[in-house]
């Protein structure tokens, strides 16, 4: 006998108006895409409006069957965690009864709030709503577009996974979920179809936009360049640096010489500070030595500050070097 879902009544119990149905019927091409952040946020809010909020054990809730985030911003997560620790979880997450296990649930949106609750050892406040897989991915995509800072490549790979699910022949579900038009979707899928080992090596770079990813895609259309990049990556550890630094490293390696016979300089390193606030791309060809500093936080001035500090002490550093290498 199947186990009864202890929260089955939550799906119909109301505290206000009737529940807002997930209606994504298309009424003309001009209405098929939600075009503003406010509209997207409103759609996400509608899914929770008038519904009963319950406390769930985080251990009974599984993540979405479609991943959208490639890497987590630990600083942003810790900020959210601190806020919930002090003020409580003010906004519920949306879950659905698990399609394969009546005793469990699956997150539609609110993965980070679920993780915070788990780490704090608290129940997670949630709305339970029975929805289809298609409506699940639409709601997940729209909520992320409205409230999350997903990078271009994360959105592109999310679009690719939704497209592969093939909910409809013309990818309308994907466009609705991400609030994009057909031309934008085509470009996203083009980038997301790059070699998966390269995309995985770079991860969820946040700063590069569509044009930079398109530039990389065109570079890798040359088989010799792709082969050389794979060789470089096999000999270089990118552990400990974020996606932006990995993307910069790859682009730097490929654009130093834009020829089919490109060969990288023989020595190349990546340095990362112990606190991960600063990284450096280092390259040397025997006659020159270049050190490019980059702050992890785009608003911080660690790179400029540390660079100025090094420059200020160059005389002393050179004197020490000459003493060791007369």
Return the domain boundaries, the chain.
35-131, 194-256, 267-324
How far is residue 65's CA from residue 131's CA, in Å, rounded to a whole number? 13
**Alpha-carbon dihedral 200, 201, 204, 205, rounded to 10 degrees:** -150
Which of 143, 126, 138 is CA-nearest to residue 10?
A: 126
User: In which residue are the tokens 């704090």 written?
Assistant: 120
Q: Is the CB of residue 260 less than 8 Å from the CB of residue 224? A: yes
pLDDT band, residue 7 (cuts 50/70/90): very low
Starting from the edge strand earliest in sequence, which strands make up the sheet with 61-62, in order? 53-56, 124-128, 93-97, 105-109, 61-62
CATH 3.30.390.30 applies to domain 35-131 = no
Question: Per mean pLDDT, which range of 33-42, 48-57, 127-136, 151-160 is the poorest?
Answer: 33-42
In this prediction, residue 51 carries a pLDDT of 67
In this prediction, residue 95 carries a pLDDT of 92
Starting from the edge strand earliest in sequence, which strands make up the sheet with 267-272, in order? 267-272, 278-284, 289-295
The overall pTM is greater than 0.75 = no
Question: Per mean pLDDT, which range of 141-150, 193-202, 240-249, 259-268 is the poorest?
Answer: 259-268
DSSP one-letter string for 139-171:
HHHHHHHHH----HHHHHHHHHHHHHH-SSTT-
How far is residue 51's CA from residue 16's CA, in Å, rounded to a whole number? 8
Question: Per mean pLDDT, which range of 139-143, 155-159, 217-221 is the poorest?
Answer: 139-143
pLDDT per residue as tens digits for the range 69-87: 656 667 778 888 999 999 9
Which of 59, 131, 122 is CA-nearest to residue 94?
A: 131
């Amino acid at each position: 006998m199947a186990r009864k879902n202890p929260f089955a009544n939550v799906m119909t119990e109301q505290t206000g108006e009737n529940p807002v149905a997930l209606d994504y019927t298309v009424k003309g091409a001009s209405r098929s895409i939600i075009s503003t952040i406010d509209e997207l946020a409103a759609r996400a809010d509608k899914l929770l409006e008038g519904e009963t909020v319950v406390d769930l054990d985080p251990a009974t809730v599984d993540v979405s069957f479609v991943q959208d985030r490639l890497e987590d911003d630990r600083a942003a997560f810790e900020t959210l965690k601190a806020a919930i620790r002090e003020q409580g979880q003010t906004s519920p997450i949306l879950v659905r009864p698990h399609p394969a296990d009546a005793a469990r649930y699956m997150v539609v949106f609110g993965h980070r709030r679920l993780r915070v609750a788990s780490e704090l050892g608290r129940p997670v406040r949630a709305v339970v709503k029975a929805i289809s897989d298609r409506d699940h991915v639409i709601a997940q995509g729209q909520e992320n577009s409205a409230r999350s800072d997903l990078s271009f490549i994360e959105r592109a790979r999310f679009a690719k996974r939704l497209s592969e699910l093939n909910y409809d022949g013309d990818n309308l579900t994907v466009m609705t979920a991400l609030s994009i038009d057909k031309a934008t979707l085509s470009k996203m899928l083009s980038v997301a179809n790059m070699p998966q080992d390269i995309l995985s090596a770079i991860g969820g770079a946040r700063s590069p936009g569509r044009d930079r990813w398109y530039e990389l895609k065109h570079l890798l259309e040359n088989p010799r360049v792709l082969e050389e990049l794979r060789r470089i990556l096999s000999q270089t550890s990118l552990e400990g640096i974020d996606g932006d630094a990995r993307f910069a490293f790859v682009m730097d390696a490929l654009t130093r010489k834009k020829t089919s016979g490109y060969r990288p300089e023989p020595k190349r390193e990546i340095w990362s500070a112990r606190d991960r606030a600063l990284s450096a791309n280092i390259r040397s060809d025997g006659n020159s030595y270049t050190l490019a500093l980059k702050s992890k936080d785009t608003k911080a001035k660690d790179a400029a500050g540390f660079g100025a500090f090094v420059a200020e002490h160059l005389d002393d550093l050179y004197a020490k070097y000459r003493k060791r290498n007369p």
